[in-house]
Amino acid sequence: MAKATFSVRRQTGFATIALVCFVMLYAPILTLMIYSFNDGTSVAIWEGFSWRWYERAAANEQVQESALLSLKIASIAAVLATIFATMAALATTRTRPYRGLTAIFAAINTPLMVPEIVTAVALLIFFASIKVATGYTGIAYLVAAHTAFCIPFAYLPIRARLESMDATLEIAAADLYATPWRAFRRVTFPLLWPGIVAGLMLAFVISLDDVVITEFVKSAGQDTLPTYMLGQLRRIVTPEMNAISTVFLGISVMVVALFFFMTRKKN
């Protein structure tokens, strides 16, 4: 007699609970998207279909400046975080086990477990002392903060890709007298590329929609799009914020879809 295997999908009420969770998660997002096309100024009363809030957001100079700053910071931070994460992943996987390796792995992933507000306050104090000493108040602080915060997010998919790769190919390259750099460039890097792209996209999205760290680190006149939206929501809630949020959602969906198609395993 075959032994019955446990499957959570066969448990009583699983489908109902899953459906309720999906409704609670996506119903508010769907409502936000619908009311971004509302012709009136209310976010709760439907007054007809209109593109006016998208047109208003697109014509808003503050939205344009904040969006460009967000894209600039997210792009630079994602590239830097991916480079550092790749080096860290290589140093923690393509090496013999050594004392302190577990501590290094824990240190890299600590920002994922520490409350973001704690990281933000620590960065505020650290950068404030540098600002006083140097007098510099540019966006380099935001780039540095976003880079540091995004490294663990880029590190995880890159490390996972490295661990799933067959190390015998790199050993074979070394046996054929390839230098470590040439073996990395000709063997490791092409195989690692999907993980690097996945880490880059994940870091970009995390940096793009960050609010807490940006709010604490930024100087005057350095509003990113999320902090600009937060400031507007403190004054009045209009469908313009719904329109901007819907565009943000569309960008996130496209990035996630691209991530899925680039990282899925081929049969």
The per-residue pLDDT for 75 is 92
Range name among 57-66, 85-94, 256-265 with the lowest pLDDT average: 256-265
The per-residue pLDDT for 264 is 64
- The per-residue pLDDT for range 112-148, each reduced to its tens digit, is 888 889 989 999 999 999 988 888 888 899 999 999 9
Range name among 75-79, 117-121, 138-142, 188-192 with the lowest pLDDT average: 188-192
pLDDT: which is higher, 174 or 50: 50
The per-residue pLDDT for 144 is 93
The per-residue pLDDT for 155 is 92
Domain ranges of the chain: 54-263
Q: Residue 224: pLDDT above 50? A: yes
The per-residue pLDDT for 95 is 75
In angstroms, the CA 212 to CA 217 distance is 9
The per-residue pLDDT for 267 is 39
- The per-residue pLDDT for range 42-56, each reduced to its tens digit, is 777 788 888 888 888
Q: Residue 103: pLDDT above 50? A: yes
Tell the CATH topology of 54-263: MetI-like fold (1.10.3720)
In angstroms, the CA 135 to CA 155 distance is 33
Instruction: Indicate the pLDDT class of residue 262, thresholds 50, 70 and 90.
Output: low
Q: What is the mean pLDDT of the chain?
A: 83
The per-residue pLDDT for 16 is 85
Place of tokens 């992933």: 109
Nearest to 185 by CA among 98, 86, 107: 86
Find all residues with CB under 8 Å of 18, minimum gap 6, and list them: none
Instruction: Find the radius of gyration of the CA atoms of the chain.
Output: 23
Q: Residue 84: pLDDT above 90? A: yes
Long-range contacts of 107-116 (CB under 8 A, 24+ apart): 108/151, 108/152, 108/155, 109/152, 109/155, 109/156, 110/152, 111/148, 111/149, 111/151, 111/152, 112/152, 112/153, 116/149, 116/212, 116/213
DSSP the chain: -PPPPP-GGGSTTHHHHHHHHHHHHHHHHHHHHHHTTBSSS-SSS---B--HHHHHHHH-HHHHHHHHHHHHHHHHHHHHHHHHHHHHHHHHHSS---TTHHHHHHHHHHHHHS-HHHHHHHHHHHHHHHHHHH---STHHHHHHHHHHHHHHHHHHHHHHHHHS-THHHHHHHHTT--HHHHIIIIIHHHHHHHHHHHHHHHHHHHHT--HHHHHH--TT---HHHHHHHHHHH---HHHHHHHHHHHHHHHHHHHHHHHHHSPP-
- The per-residue pLDDT for range 10-26, each reduced to its tens digit, is 777 778 888 898 888 88
In angstroms, the CA 111 to CA 85 distance is 13
Contact at 8 Å (CB) between 89 and 215? no
155-175 mean pLDDT? 81
pLDDT: which is higher, 41 or 82: 82
- For the chain, the farthest-separated pair of C-alpha atoms sits apart, in whole angstroms, at 77
